[in-house]
A and B are shown apart, each in its own frame.
Chain A
Amino acid sequence: MTDEKLKFAFYWAASCGGCEIAVLDIDEAILDVAAAADILFWPVAMDFKYKDVEAMEDRHIDVCFFNGAIRNSEQKEIAHLLRKKSKVMVAFGSCAVTGGIPGLANMSDKKGIFETVYHDNASIENPDGTVPEPSSEVKEGELTIPEFYDDVDTLDQTVEVDYYLPGCPPPTNLILTAVTAIIKGELPPKGSIIAPNKSVCDECRFEKSEKRITAIKRIYEVEKVEDKCLLEQGIICLGPATRGGCGAPCLDANMPCTGCGGPTPNSLDQGAKMISALASVLGIDNEETSSEEEVDKMIDDIVDPLGTFYKYGLPSSLIKRRVMKE
């Protein structure tokens, strides 16, 4: 790239805001970023207006870091706008990459969500049954708010994405790798996921031995976590089905991987892969003699399968969402 300073933009769509903090988590390296780049747009930190962006020439921004999924019309509009104005679009964090926690809303739809949030909820009193409407007439005139969608989409289901930085939030070392590559102009091929190919297990501190699981346990049900692979202790750990690069910090804290790194290379569906693996080794010791009931019982011990296997990836999975019947 030229000697001229790079132009960055950051945006926050359907997400918790943790990704914004993650940017600051690169600590003093933020100063290098500031030295190398001007930030043209960062609603959470600086006062810019959408019209400032609209006024830019197309492809004026060098790199846009976009976090959050797309769940309303505003997010969709800005995604399109930033795509047009940016040379490089980076899906930043699980929500943008695979749908993230907001993506679990694909188990319901607008109607269902409004029902829970505005009607059927112990802490709500709403005798008129008011729900947000994209447009409402008041005496001063028309008021509009963004439209809430039935579906949560990932960023690349909405606009073309050049690079992906998975993680909830993306690990700082990967952010640094990405930013350094951009500054040095050494970007990998378009479409790359900026993370290693290997799964979390590669970085996990626990010893692996025999993957023969006799029963599923939740972490609180384990009296003392032994110094060996959590999966082998019956704790569902998505490590082997999840792209690494994070350094397995959850495992350092004796907590299982919940899968924020997204699927491993070429995997179609992270959750399905993990389910398939687990089904292959759960109860394998007695698989020839186990009765249907015994198998059912073992499976019943998996509490909240969707939240376990698709915590961060429902919108980008093969199933994508629950089919809502009218």
Chain B
Amino acid sequence: MKRIGVFVCHCGVNIASKVDVKEVAEYASKLDGVVFAKDYKYMCSDPGGKLIKDSIKEYDLDGVVVASCSPRMHEHTFKNVAEDGGINPFNVEITNIREQCSWAHEDRDEATRKAKILVRASVAKSSLLESLEKSKTPVTHEALVIGAGIAGIQSALDIADDGFKVYLVEKEPTIGGRMAQLDKTFPTLDCSSCILTPKMMEVKNHPNIELMTYSEVTKVEGSVGNYKVKVKKKARYVDLDICNGCFDCTTACRISGHVPDTFNLELGKRSAAYIPFPQAIPLKATIDPDHCLMLRFGKCGDGPLCVKACEPDAIDFTQTDEEVELNVGTIIVATGYDLLNPEKLFEYGYTRSKNVITTLELERLISTSGPTEGDVVLLSSGEKPRSVTFILCAGSRDETKCTWCCRIGCMSVLKHVYLLREKLGVDVEINICYTDIRSFGKGYEEFYRTIRGKGVNFFRGRPSEVRVHPENVTIDIFDTTTNKLFEIGTEMVVLVPALVPRADSEEFSRILGLSRSGDGFLLEAHPKLRPMDTFVNGIFIAGCAQGPKDIADTVAQASGAASRAAAILTKDELENDPLIAWVDPEICVGCGVCVEVCAYSARTLNEVTGIADVDEALCAGCGACISACPSNACTHKNYTKQQLIRMIDEVV
């Protein structure tokens, strides 16, 4: 029989004013198994803790029930006190007589009666509590960052600066992400490359960063502290150690000028041997297997010109995909975003006119390193447009497409107005069709005000249609500020498509066991308090992979994620909370229901034993698998069915 002590807290007057704490203690002292019961003004204070510790010694207690506030507040405190007092902390049971009694009831007698009943239930459970030990997991002091846009770059640099090795995996041949495609950035109009490329160089030169470009994560196993990750390094057909980034192969390529330039959103052409842009990191060539004649047909004229041109002899057509395995302690996912395919916005004419483009395409036209070397021209004629009309929220804030706000559209258009005035002069007509102008960030409203003075026509509303004519296009829009229907004739239309999850995000989130929110972006563990955490312990998210955001927010979140990751990497061992699921091997048949319901990827089927395992490092003790287990093979340690039924029996 357990020797239980019951400690009833007044919580100042918080509890004592509505619950007769002395009566509760008196009542508790007579319950089966209770050898000592006492009330005290603040049980969470030092003297309160001392009372508990001393009583454990004096009465040789092996179970402690504290009737106080919610376990969310002080369960930890009391467990530590009990441990100091020399008993296993998992023999502490909290009865919440504040939130559930004194704060919830007006009638003192009733509140006191309820407190007694709850204490009785806790004492009954306490007699069944088991001592548990915390298991420990050693930590691999290395991190993996997936995606090398500005988010991934920032996270990798932060962790590397903290002194830990980082693998940075990027699926494109170069790092930089979307930011590398931008010209200037709002609201300060810094040149995007000027602020991005130094960071890219830093990544390249950092001794703690191992860069793996043109690579993809294919499998993730294990748990916080010890992830095993498989990475596929796609064949580049160029030896990275030898290539010196001289661009000779790219100019020599037989089909130079015939391959759609993906970096420039196919606005221009490149060769099959290519380097995406002059500041690419690594500055190494890649051979595009979808177009290279050698790779497609095994033959390129009388011999591949790139090989001939390559002085150091770096090209190697025999290369194959390679798989490497990494061991890391934590993972940051920073895979960014895509734009909604504008072809889905049929009414806006993207498929019908070359002069209807997207903002990202406009970024490439404005950029001096872009396909037109910075000339903003009509794609149909190569002439400068005399009028440009922006359509904001193309697919965003739209029940039928993407319900969310893209958070960068308004500001990017205001930025473009500024740049177009610079490039095309004051005479070009600029119209903006908007829903609301959302200029919420620091300095954004001021920037908006500057642009309002730049002679722009603002129409508030959503165009119903973009009609394409031989000479120009016309846009029908009902302006809700003047209540008038306008027909805008314009030469160039720039759509601001919604920001959407990466096309492969569903499959990708499965590989990592991550959940996604309704919009398809990766789901954070708590929208306010744990915005960088996921439900999988040890995997964090940063940047637009979590949801649309601008560069400033992306970088802030990336640094946040890095520090969350470093908090794990600085430890040698992780303690696992033992209040987790447990599987009875005598009952489990490995039906696999638990595996599907576990949000933390903690449940797997053991191929050898045929039953379901619990990964102690990953299990968060949420209980989903326990209620889902059809065979009743799963129990929650110290919340067993027997314990809970005993409590219910005492109450009813």
- B587 with A210: CB separation less than 8 A: no
- B631 with A280: CB separation less than 8 A: no
- Which of B587, B593, B631, B632 meets A281, CB within 8 Å? B593
Closest to A267 in B: B632
- B632 with A263: CB separation less than 8 A: yes
Tell me, yes or no, whether A202 is within 8 Å of chain B by CB: yes
Closest to B624 in A: A280
Tell me, yes or no, whether B629 is within 8 Å of chain A by CB: yes
Q: Which of B573-614 contact A (CB under 8 A)?
A: 586-593, 595-597
- B589 with A211: CB separation less than 8 A: no
- B630 with A273: CB separation less than 8 A: yes
7 interchain pairs, CB-CB under 8 A: A199-B589, A201-B589, A208-B590, A240-B589, A240-B630, A264-B631, A288-B515
- A268 with B518: CB separation less than 8 A: no
Tell me, yes or no, whether B341 is within 8 Å of chain A by CB: no
Say which size band chain A's interface belongs to: 20 to 34
- B592 with A280: CB separation less than 8 A: no
Which residues from A are CB-within-8-Å of B51? none
Q: How far is the CB of A98 from chain B (nearest CB, A)?
A: 15
Which residues from A are CB-within-8-Å of B645? 268
Q: Provide the A273-286 mask, 1 if CB < 8 A to any CB of B, else 0.
A: 11011101100100
Q: Provide the A245-280 mask, 1 if CB < 8 A to any CB of B, else 0.
A: 000000000000000000111111000011011101
- Which of A199, A212, A264, A266 meets B596, CB within 8 Å? A212
- B632 with A288: CB separation less than 8 A: no
With contacts A240-B630, A268-B641, A280-B597 known, is A211 near B587, CB below 8 A? no
- B631 with A199: CB separation less than 8 A: yes
- A240 with B587: CB separation less than 8 A: no
Tell me, yes or no, whether A144 is within 8 Å of chain B by CB: no
Q: Provide the B627-640 mask, 1 if CB < 8 A to any CB of A, else 0.
A: 11111110000000
- Which of B517, B588, B595 meets A288, CB within 8 Å? B517
Q: How far is the CB of A258 from chain B (nearest CB, A)?
A: 14
- A211 with B631: CB separation less than 8 A: no
Which residues from B are CB-within-8-Å of A197? 586-587
- A241 with B597: CB separation less than 8 A: no
Q: How far is the CB of A192 from chain B (nearest CB, A)?
A: 14
Closest to B642 in A: A266
- A280 with B628: CB separation less than 8 A: yes
Say which size band chain B's interface belongs to: 20 to 34
- B591 with A284: CB separation less than 8 A: no
Q: How far is the CB of A169 from chain B (nearest CB, A)?
A: 23
Tell me, yes or no, whether B516 is within 8 Å of chain A by CB: yes
- B586 with A208: CB separation less than 8 A: no
- A277 with B630: CB separation less than 8 A: yes
- A266 with B632: CB separation less than 8 A: yes
Q: Which of B614-652 contact A (CB under 8 A)?
A: 624, 627-633, 641-642, 645
- A280 with B589: CB separation less than 8 A: no
Q: Which of A160-214 contact B (CB under 8 A)?
A: 197-199, 201-202, 208-212
With contacts A211-B591, A240-B589, A281-B596 known, is A288 near B628, CB below 8 A? no
User: In the assembly, what is the distance between CA of A241 and CA of B628, in Å?
Assistant: 11
Q: Which 10 residue pairs are nearest across A and B when measured between Cβ atoms?
A: A277-B630, A280-B628, A267-B632, A240-B630, A241-B630, A240-B591, A201-B589, A202-B589, A199-B631, A280-B597
- A240 with B627: CB separation less than 8 A: no
With contacts A210-B596, A212-B596, A240-B593 known, is A281 near B586, CB below 8 A? no
- A198 with B586: CB separation less than 8 A: yes
- Which of A202, A265, A280 meets B593, CB within 8 Å? A280
- A284 with B631: CB separation less than 8 A: no
User: In the assembly, what is the distance between CA of A229 and CA of B605, in Å?
Assistant: 15
User: In the assembly, what is the distance between CA of A263 and CA of B627, in Å?
Assistant: 15
Tell me, yes or no, whether A289 is within 8 Å of chain B by CB: yes
User: In the assembly, what is the distance between CA of A274 and CA of B627, in Å?
Assistant: 10
Q: Which of B176-192 contact A (CB under 8 A)?
A: none
Which residues from B are CB-within-8-Å of A209? 592
- A208 with B592: CB separation less than 8 A: yes
Closest to A208 in B: B592
Closest to A277 in B: B630
User: In the assembly, what is the distance between CA of A239 and CA of B515, in Å?
Assistant: 29
- A274 with B630: CB separation less than 8 A: yes
Q: How far is the CB of A312 from chain B (nearest CB, A)?
A: 15
- Which of A210, A241, A268 meets B631, CB within 8 Å? A241
Which residues from B are CB-within-8-Å of A264? 587, 631-633
- B641 with A211: CB separation less than 8 A: no
User: In the assembly, what is the distance between CA of A280 and CA of B631, in Å?
Assistant: 14
Q: How far is the CB of B612 from chain A (nearest CB, A)?
A: 11
- B590 with A284: CB separation less than 8 A: no
Q: How far is the CB of A286 from chain B (nearest CB, A)?
A: 10
- B596 with A284: CB separation less than 8 A: yes
Q: How far is the CB of B438 from chain A (nearest CB, A)?
A: 25
User: In the assembly, what is the distance between CA of A231 and CA of B163, in Å?
Assistant: 50
Closest to A239 in B: B591
Which residues from A are CB-within-8-Å of B624? 280
Which residues from B are CB-within-8-Å of A284? 596-597
Most A-side CB within 10 Å, residue of B592, B597, B629 = B592
Which residues from B are CB-within-8-Å of A201? 589-591, 631
- A198 with B587: CB separation less than 8 A: yes
Q: Which of A198-245 contact B (CB under 8 A)?
A: 198-199, 201-202, 208-212, 229, 231, 239-241
User: In the assembly, what is the distance between CA of A211 and CA of B593, in Å?
Assistant: 6
- Which of A208, A263, A268, A289 meets B591, CB within 8 Å? A208
Which residues from B are CB-within-8-Å of A280? 593, 596-597, 624, 627-628
Which residues from B are CB-within-8-Å of A212? 596
Q: Which of B498-526 contact A (CB under 8 A)?
A: 515-518
Q: Provide the A76-96 mask, 1 if CB < 8 A to any CB of B, else 0.
A: 000000000000000000000
Which residues from A are CB-within-8-Å of B631? 198-199, 201, 240-241, 264, 267, 273
Closest to B586 in A: A197
Closest to B506 in A: A285
Q: How far is the CB of B130 from chain A (nearest CB, A)?
A: 16
- A277 with B590: CB separation less than 8 A: no
Closest to B632 in A: A267
Which residues from A are CB-within-8-Å of B633? 264
Q: Which of B124-166 contact A (CB under 8 A)?
A: none
Which residues from A are CB-within-8-Å of B629? 273, 277
Closest to A238 in B: B630
Which residues from B are CB-within-8-Å of A277? 593, 628-630
Q: How far is the CB of B505 from chain A (nearest CB, A)?
A: 13
Which residues from A are CB-within-8-Å of B627? 276, 280
Q: How far is the CB of A281 from chain B (nearest CB, A)?
A: 5
Which residues from A are CB-within-8-Å of B516? 288
Given A211-B591, A276-B628, 16 new contacts (CB under 8 A): A197-B586, A198-B588, A199-B587, A199-B589, A201-B591, A202-B589, A208-B592, A210-B596, A211-B592, A211-B595, A240-B630, A265-B586, A273-B631, A276-B630, A281-B593, A289-B518
Which residues from B are CB-within-8-Å of A265? 586-587, 632
Which residues from A are CB-within-8-Å of B590? 201, 208
Which residues from A are CB-within-8-Å of B588? 198
User: In the assembly, what is the distance between CA of A20 and CA of B628, in Å?
Assistant: 37
Closest to A200 in B: B589
Which residues from B are CB-within-8-Å of A278? 630
- A273 with B595: CB separation less than 8 A: no
- B630 with A199: CB separation less than 8 A: yes
User: In the assembly, what is the distance between CA of A280 and CA of B632, in Å?
Assistant: 14
Most A-side CB within 10 Å, residue of B515, B624, B627 = B627
User: In the assembly, what is the distance between CA of A284 and CA of B630, in Å?
Assistant: 16
User: In the assembly, what is the distance between CA of A240 and CA of B645, in Å?
Assistant: 23
Which residues from A are CB-within-8-Å of B517? 288
User: In the assembly, what is the distance between CA of A273 and CA of B593, in Å?
Assistant: 12
- A266 with B593: CB separation less than 8 A: no
User: In the assembly, what is the distance between CA of A280 and CA of B625, in Å?
Assistant: 9
User: In the assembly, what is the distance between CA of A278 and CA of B597, in Å?
Assistant: 11
Closest to A202 in B: B589
User: In the assembly, what is the distance between CA of A202 and CA of B611, in Å?
Assistant: 10
Q: How far is the CB of A261 from chain B (nearest CB, A)?
A: 11
Which residues from B are CB-within-8-Å of A198? 586-589, 631
